[in-house]
Structure 1
Amino acid sequence: MPPKKSPAKAKEPAAQEAKKEVRKQTALQKNYLIAYNLASCIGWFAVLVLVVQELQTAGYQSVYGKVSTLLNIVQTCALFEVSNLNSVWFILAKYDYPEVRQSYFVSSMVIAWSITEIVRYGYYALNLIYGKAPLFSTYIRYTFFFVLYPLGAGSEFMLIQYAIPFAQQTQAFYGFVFTFIAGMYAPGFWFMYQHMIKQRSKVFEKVFGKDKNE
């Protein structure tokens, strides 16, 4: 009579299969995230190109009309990232306020958004592909916000201010909501800006071995 297998040995094949399945799922998740981040990076780059082209050929008044479809697509993809949703996108997409959509603040805002997201998604993709983002990608990821965040947030604030009178005339509730959001921008901006500066210091100390604040 052949010797009976011990319970521990009998479980080994099942454990190995489970590990293989976990590795397979992990690889699929990684590939999905790489594809998502690369697609998002390309999408925002296309938005940036459209904005620049429209500014050169027609002017800032028609920028939103030119980029709105593609902008809605890339912003809708951000539904997978709840933290990345934006109230100004909602205002622009939902309400046809010419004074808002034709403002030059739309151009400055979308340019700031585009560069920020190109850098961010590019950083994530490179980090996933190589296991560690290149130093140049890390540097611009945690440096460009010094200019881009004030530019983007300031443009958003001005567009909300432009939208408030029109909202109050048509839908008083949204007028109140927009006013509340505008009132939160200054403290929210200061909090987030300080948070990003602290994050930069932590990352740079870890990556570069020092607090690189220059």
Structure 2
Amino acid sequence: MEAPITSPPTLKYNATPKRKPILGKRYIMIYNVFQALGSIICTLQVFAFLEILHVVLGIVKSSLAPTLAQVLGRNHVLLVGLLYCPTVQFHWGVPLMVFFWGISELIRFPYYIAQAYNECPPFLTWLRYNAFIVLYPIGFAAENILWYEMLPIMLEDRIHFLDMPNWFNFSFNYYYFALIWITLTFLLFPKQYLYMFSLRKKKQQQALAEAEDMSRSAKKTK
């Protein structure tokens, strides 16, 4: 007598997919935002060259050397470095650098606009002459962290190298050029940082003088 045919046991499983950690979701969201803003940031940095022209033409009252150093430094690390090192674009130093760049510009440009209309609120003036104490060093550190990551890649892939023979009869080793550039930025950064402190001191003295004038005029009217 044949044994009765039985159906195979059904396997029970949980069809509900595993939920990703909240921290992981937030990281992915922030990462995607910075990736989407990449082209916008690069475009805005190109337009930053206009700042040099504004200083030369006297449209903006500022020193040429610090403006030149900031514009060239940022465009160099972004347009000459990061654009040619895709793997470094995933480094945590990129959002750190862009974040502190952005905060500094969100303070600086509204301050310039308010100054043009002679209606600058005190808190914006305070931010303009105090926030740089934290923003500049961290932004500068983030730039050099990225250079540390990019230099070996540039040397291995010979990015921006010009080898002989060529039509110009000239060879160029970008790796050594970048090392010289980074060394110069380290040497010039303290000077630029102290320059901002000198502007801060001048602004404080100006505010103190204005307060004394107001106090004198108030006493005269009594």
Q: What is the aligned partner in structure 2 of residue 195 from structure 1?
A: 195
Distance 1:133 1:209 in 2: 18
Instruction: Please tell me whether Structure 1 or Structure 2 has the larger radius of gyration of its CA atoms.
Output: 2
- CA separation of 1:97 and 1:146: change in aligned 2, threshold 3 A: same
Q: What is the aligned partner in structure 2 of residue 182 from structure 1?
A: 182
Q: What is the aligned partner in structure 2 of residue 76 from structure 1?
A: 46
Task: Work out which of the residue numbers 122, 126, 138 in structure 1 matches 2:110.
Answer: 122
Q: Deviations over 1:82-123 (max 9, x none)?
A: 33242112234530331x211111111101100000100010
Point out which structure has higher relative CO (alpha carbons under 8 A, 6+ apart): 1
Identical counterparts, % of pairs: 24
- CA separation of 1:143 and 1:65: change in aligned 2, threshold 3 A: same
1:136 and 2:106 matched: no
Contact between 1:63 and 1:102, CA under 8 Å: does it hold in 2?
no
Distance 2:135 2:193 in 1: 11
Q: What is the aligned partner in structure 1 of residue 78 from structure 2?
A: 89
Q: Secondary structure at the match of 1:58?
A: helix
Count of matched residue positions in the alignment of Structure 1 and Structure 2: 155
Question: Is there any run of 5+ residues in structure 1 with no aligned partner, and where?
Answer: 1-53
Q: What is the aligned partner in structure 1 of residue 151 from structure 2?
A: 164
Contact between 1:61 and 1:103, CA under 8 Å: does it hold in 2?
no
**Could you tell me which amino acid in structure 2 is paired with residue 113 of structure 1?**
W
Distance 1:183 1:195 in 2: 19
Q: Deviations over 1:136-186 (max 9, x none)?
A: 111100100011000100000111121111111223522112211221232
* RMSD, matched Cα: 2.4
Question: Is there any run of 5+ residues in structure 2 with no aligned partner, and where?
Answer: 1-23, 53-67, 162-172, 211-222
Shift of 1:195: 1.2
**Could you tell me which amino acid in structure 1 is paired with residue 86 of structure 2?**
Y
Stretch moving more, 175-184 or 144-153: 175-184
Q: What TM-score does the superposition give when structure 2 sets the normalisation length?
A: 0.63
Q: What TM-score does the superposition give when structure 1 sets the normalisation length?
A: 0.65
Distance 1:175 1:156 in 2: 16
- CA separation of 1:103 and 1:59: change in aligned 2, threshold 3 A: farther
Contact between 2:129 and 2:200, CA under 8 Å: does it hold in 1?
yes
